[in-house]
Structure formats: structure tokens, C-alpha cells
Amino acid sequence: MGKTVLITGAASGFGRGVAFGLARRGHKAIASCQIWPQVTELRSAAKAEGIELQVIKLDVLSEIDRAKALELDIDVLHNNAGIMESGPMAEIPMAVFRSVFETNVFAALALAQGFARKMVQRGSGRIVWTSSVAGLVKVPFDGAYAASKHAVEGICSAMHEELKPYGVEVVTVNPGAFRTGFNDTGMESMDQWWSQGERVVAHWPVRELNKQHDPAEMIAAIIDVIEARDPPYRTVRPATAEEMVRKEQADIWERKASEA
């Protein structure tokens, strides 16, 4: 039987791919977008492909939008909306740092709390958080985003244990570097403020992101997690990223303060 799934941040990237994929597989996918022009574009794209897709406006930072979304009855929340702001931790403006946490942590948690309460009352449901490999390892020059995803990891591990007795499942999906455009613009984001003051720490070295993976792999993995009867708590893709995470987490126990 098909599931009713709300996907946040579905205008592009993983969210869009998951929404289309779920709809094609017979689920009731509800794709949410931050702004109205994205809603219009996504509806047109779905219609052009003959896909039955419900598209709504949901700016996760908006209390009004979140309240409207919470009127929905869903089986699964895919908490996917997020932003990336880059820059060395010694230089990144606090307003920029806070903006990352407002979207990736606080707004996402507010939405998860609202649906968790409904799921607990019903005795079933699943919350799938898009975390990141950046939430599991060190990421120089992308510390704000990594810190927000480390926070997501802490939230999810707690929610997993807290909601398990009520029949509500909490799991994470942790993408590495995929060609969605998210990483490219995230790297570029620090250029907006870098020249607006005296800097003492180096800029992120300019380099082409030419080793990113096909997002279809991650999209398929997320759909599997949403559909599975008993999915793993954590799903990391690609496999090389999982290997890197496991090695770095083991190595960190022996790391010295002077080591990179």
C-alpha cells in the first residue's frame, strides 16, 4: 500500500528526485517548496511528465507555512530542506552562521516536533532526516554547515530513542558529494561577504568540484529508506564516503592537537 510522504525542500536536488520517484512508484508524494514561483514550476514539471504530485508552499522558516503543513496527515516526513554557507570558522559572520542553524536545525526540528506529536498520538510514523557526511566528520571551510549537521545527528539519535516506544521511527540519510548543485553554490556563498572586511585566515582554495557522484544513487537510497519495512538507522552514500567516515571516526581517537 502506498504511503503519504511530505518532502521538504523539493524544488530541486534530492527532494525533487525523491518526490518524483515516490509519485512514480504509487505513493502520495507531497512536495514542498520555499517560494511560490518554485511551486508553479514544480507543478508544471510534474504535469509535463504525467506525474500526479501534490505541490505546496512550505518555507520551513515560516511559522504560518509550518502550521499549514501540519494540517496534513502523513505517514512519513522527509525533513530535507537545508542550506549551506561556507567559510573558515574564524571569519564567518555570526549572522550567516545563525542562518544555517535557523534552517537546518531549528526550523527542521520545529516541523519534526509537530509531526512527531501527531505520529505519537496515532502510534505510527517515520521521520527521515537528510543529514550529511559532513555531520559525521571534519569539514574545513564548511564548518557552519557541518556543525548544523552534527546537531542534526544529535537530535536524531535522541529522537530515535525517545519516539521508539510510541511506534515512531527516526532515521537519517547522509549524502556525500553529489552533483545537485548544492555543494557548488555552497562553496561560492562565502564570496558574498569575504571582501567586506579584513581577513586573517585563508579563503577556501578555489577548485572545481569534479569528483561528485550521480544524485540518482542517493535518491534511490532515500526512496528505499522511505519504503522499507525496517530501514537502517543511518544510510551513507556513496560507499566510498561510508568507508571514509568509518576510518576518520576511528582515527580521531589517536589524533593530536597539532595534526590536520
Grid coordinates standing for 145?
554547515
**What is the pLDDT at residue 150?**
98
Domain assignment present for residue 146? The answer is: yes
Domain assignment present for residue 198? The answer is: yes
Domain assignment present for residue 230? The answer is: yes
**What is the pLDDT at residue 203?**
87
- Partners of residue 130 on adjacent β-strands: 173
Q: pLDDT 10s per residue in the chain (260 long)?
A: 799 999 999 999 999 999 999 999 999 999 999 999 999 999 999 999 999 999 999 999 999 999 999 999 999 999 999 999 999 999 999 999 999 999 999 999 999 999 999 999 999 999 999 999 999 999 999 999 999 999 999 999 999 999 999 999 999 999 999 999 999 999 999 999 999 999 999 888 766 788 899 999 999 999 999 999 999 999 999 999 899 999 999 988 888 888 76
Residues in Cβ contact with 71 at an 8 Å cutoff, skipping those fewer than 6 apart: none
Q: Which residues are catalytic?
A: 145
Domain assignment present for residue 259? The answer is: no
Domain assignment present for residue 57? The answer is: yes
> Phi and psi (nearest 5°) for 55?
-120, 130
Question: Rounded CA gap, 8 and 179, in Å?
Answer: 19
Structural domain containing residue 128: 4-254
Domain assignment present for residue 241? The answer is: yes
Domain assignment present for residue 20? The answer is: yes
CB 79 within 8 A of CB 127: yes
DSSP state of 136: T
Query: How many domains does the chain fold into?
Result: 1
Q: What is the DSSP string of 100-126?
A: HHIIIIIIHHHHHHHHHHHHHHHT-EE
Domain assignment present for residue 260? The answer is: no
Within 10 angstroms of residue 119's Cβ, the number of other Cβ atoms is: 24
Q: CATH no. for residue 118?
A: 3.40.50.720
